[in-house]
């Protein structure tokens, strides 16, 4: 080789080394970067390795220098390596996402940016690679995508109706209210126009297929409006939900009647979730369950219970029939006697009209007495839907004891009634509560039938606490056998010959339907005491 050729070759080598050295020197300035930065020559050999690369990949600078970058990092590309190199040579740059492994074997997802470096003659001499670790970001995004996909699958496949709503407009409207020191519920109740306006601010953004079917729609497009179209004009459930939202509650449950697109109303239970995080007002979820079948079953059950209770009342009056007949015969006999006396006064040569008037007065009084007895019996036998009336418990006690007083007296049973004065009212069905007391009194009397010694039933009514009153029926009979106590209120359990075993079961069901409790205590040989508790009417201001 000539000296000129050797000189040229030596010069080129020195220039390449100088360019590579200059490139590495520039890269050292990036040692403080949070990105992994390294330099490789055209053969892929690492010539520079920054501190972040050491920390992230796990190889020290000494271990990395001189290694083939792709082999060391076990880099996986989304495209063919030759294609990437061709693009790099063509444009001088390349960007893409790759997977690499650390010294410990962990897989990293990396956003790579390559810049081709040239010498002073324009010849490519190396590549500056800047890598950003996006493993956590990609994992979080993947988890979010998977979560959204799972949510969408659950949303679409759920048999429960789901509605997505945006309540951000409601938040703004509520914030504008001046309610300092004022009860929000009362304020809203006094301002129905605001509530009506608020209903139109709750926007539906999506509904699942189950909700579409429940509302009689063929797709979600019919719902992308406000919730106003799904609620009846006099619906109060939205007001309750609005208060819960304003008070910062996480959940709210309620029951209402959903208005289908065809106008038919469907009874539903709903749960609203109010996300607590910022921006959660845009993603309020409402879960809706159609309870039509449950309501129908409840109505059928109530009808069956009413029929059974009516049959039990008829059976009870059957047991009292002899006493009732005697009680009705008394005023009828008095009417006959007074009528005959009046006729005698009229048949006198000089009729005594004053005496006639007196006897007619007796006839009227006894007729009214007979009418009251018949009315009381007819009322007790009446078949009607349960009512929720405001009742004075003292009147209920008086009416019940009047029905059984003669039957008890026939068996020499003394009935003592001790009712506190001024008891607060209860809310319920008068006939049902009468039936409970009549049943307990008749049972107590029958329990003492044929027993020697005194026979006494004591009925007490009084206040228990600020929310409850109690009625007790205590007898002096033989008591209840301990083995029978656990089954006493079970349907069809009876200790009477020929009994149906439904009386006490109906009594307990009736009391519990009134929000109360019915229980019993007994000491064998010393009688039994039935304890009945009922809540006051909510309209009553307890002392």
Q: What is the pLDDT of residues 482-519, one digit of tens each?
A: 888 778 777 666 666 555 555 677 788 788 888 899 89
Treating both helix axes as pointing N-terminal to C-terminal, what angle do 321-347 and 353-381 enclose, rounded to 10 degrees?
A: 160
Domain spanning 158-290: CATH superfamily: PAS domain (3.30.450.20)
Q: Please state the three-class secondary structure of 315-372 as a single string.
A: HHHHHCHHHHHHHHHHHHHHHHHHHHHHHHHHHCCCCCHHHHHHHHHHHHHHHHHHHH
* Among candidate residues 231, 230, 227, 224, the one with its CA nearest the CA of residue 205: 224
Beta carbons of 53 and 74 less than 8 angstroms apart: no
Distance CA 376, CA 400 (A): 9
Distance CA 441, CA 191 (A): 51
The two tokens of residue 487 are 């089954």
Cα torsion 198, 204, 209, 211 to 10°: value is 0
DSSP-derived secondary structure for 63-116: HHTTSBHHHHHT-B-SS-HHHHHHHHHHHSEEEEEEEEE-TT--EEEEEEEEEE
* pLDDT tens digits, 192-215: 888 888 888 888 888 888 888 888
Helix count and strand count (H, E) for the chain? 17, 17
The two tokens of residue 309 are 């209770």
For the chain, how many residues are written?
A: 543
Residue with tokens 């409970």: 436
On the question of pLDDT at 542 being above 60, the answer is no
Note whether 158-290 and 388-543 share their fold.
Answer: no
* pLDDT tens digits, 99-126: 999 999 999 999 999 999 888 888 888 9
Q: What is the CATH number of domain 3-138?
A: 3.30.450.20
Distance CA 69, CA 86 (A): 18
Distance CA 259, CA 118 (A): 74
Model confidence, pTM: 0.48
Instruction: Out of 3.30.565.10, 2.40.320.10, 1.10.15.40, 3.40.50.720, select the CATH number for domain 388-543.
Output: 3.30.565.10
* pLDDT tens digits, 422-466: 888 888 888 788 878 888 888 888 888 777 778 899 999 998 888
Confidence of residue 3 (pLDDT cuts 50, 70, 90): very low
Distance CA 2, CA 6 (A): 6
Greatest mean pLDDT among 67-71, 307-311, 416-420 = 67-71
Beta carbons of 202 and 226 less than 8 angstroms apart: yes
The two tokens of residue 56 are 């992230």
pLDDT given for residue 25 in this prediction: 59
* pLDDT tens digits, 335-394: 776 677 678 778 877 777 787 787 787 777 767 766 766 665 666 556 556 667 888 988
In the 8-state DSSP scheme, what is residue 424?
Answer: P
Q: Where are the domains of the chain?
A: 3-138, 158-290, 294-385, 388-543
């Amino acid at each position: 080789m000539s000296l000129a050729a050797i000189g040229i070759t030596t010069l080129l080598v020195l220039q390449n080394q100088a360019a590579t050295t200059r490139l590495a020197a520039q890269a050292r300035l990036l040692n403080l970067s949070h990105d992994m930065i390294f330099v490789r020559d055209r053969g892929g050999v690492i010539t520079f390795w920054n501190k972040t690369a050491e920390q992230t990949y796990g190889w020290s600078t000494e271990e990395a220098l001189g290694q083939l970058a792709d082999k060391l990092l076990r880099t996986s590309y989304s495209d063919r390596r030759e294609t990437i190199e061709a693009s790099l040579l063509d444009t001088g740059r390349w960007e893409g996402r790759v997977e690499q492994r650390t010294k410990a074997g962990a897989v990293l997802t990396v956003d790579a940016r390559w810049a081709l470096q040239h010498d002073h003659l324009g010849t490519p001499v190396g590549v500056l690679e800047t890598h950003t670790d996006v493993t956590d970001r990609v994992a979080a995004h993947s988890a979010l995508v998977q979560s959204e996909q799972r949510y969408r699958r659950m949303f679409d496949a759920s048999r429960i109706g789901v509605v997505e709503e945006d309540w951000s407009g409601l938040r703004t409207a509520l914030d504008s209210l001046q309610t300092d020191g004022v009860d929000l519920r009362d304020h809203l109740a006094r301002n129905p126009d605001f509530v009506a306006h608020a209903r139109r601010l709750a926007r539906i953004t999506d509904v699942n297929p189950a909700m579409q079917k429940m509302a009689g729609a063929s797709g979600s497009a019919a719902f992308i409006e406000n919730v106003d179209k799904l609620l009846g004009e006099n619906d109060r459930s939205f007001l309750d939900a609005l208060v819960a939202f304003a008070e910062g509650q996480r959940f709210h449950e309620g029951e209402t009647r959903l208005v289908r697109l065809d106008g038919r109303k469907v009874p539903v239970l709903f749960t609203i979730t109010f996300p607590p995080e910022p921006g959660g007002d845009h993603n309020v979820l409402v879960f809706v369950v159609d309870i039509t079948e449950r309501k129908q079953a409840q109505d059928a059950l109530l009808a069956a219970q009413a029929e059974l209770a009516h049959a039990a009342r008829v059976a009870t009056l059957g047991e009292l029939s002899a006493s009732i007949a005697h009680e009705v015969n008394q005023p009828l006999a008095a009417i006959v006697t007074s009528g005959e006396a009046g006729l005698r006064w009229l048949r006198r040569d000089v009729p005594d009209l004053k005496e006639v008037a007196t006897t007619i007065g007796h006839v009227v009084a006894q007729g009214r007495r007979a009418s009251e007895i018949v009315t009381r019996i007819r009322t007790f036998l009446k078949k009607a839907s349960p009512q929720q009336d405001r009742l004075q418990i003292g009147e209920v006690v008086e009416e019940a004891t009047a029905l059984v007083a003669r039957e008890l007296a026939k068996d020499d049973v003394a009935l003592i009634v001790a009712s506190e004065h001024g008891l607060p009212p209860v809310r319920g069905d008068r006939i049902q509560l009468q039936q409970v007391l009549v049943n307990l009194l008749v049972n107590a009397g029958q329990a003492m039938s044929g027993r020697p010694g005194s026979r006494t039933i004591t009925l007490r009514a009084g206040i228990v606490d600020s929310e409850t009153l109690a009625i007790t029926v205590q007898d002096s009979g033989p008591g209840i056998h301990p083995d029978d106590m656990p089954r006493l209120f079970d349907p069809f359990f009876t200790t009477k010959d020929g009994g149906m075993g439904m009386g006490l079961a109906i009594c307990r069901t009736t009391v519990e339907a009134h929000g109360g409790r019915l229980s019993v205590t007994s000491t064998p040989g010393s009688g039994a005491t039935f304890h009945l508790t009922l809540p006051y009417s909510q309209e009553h201001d307890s002392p």
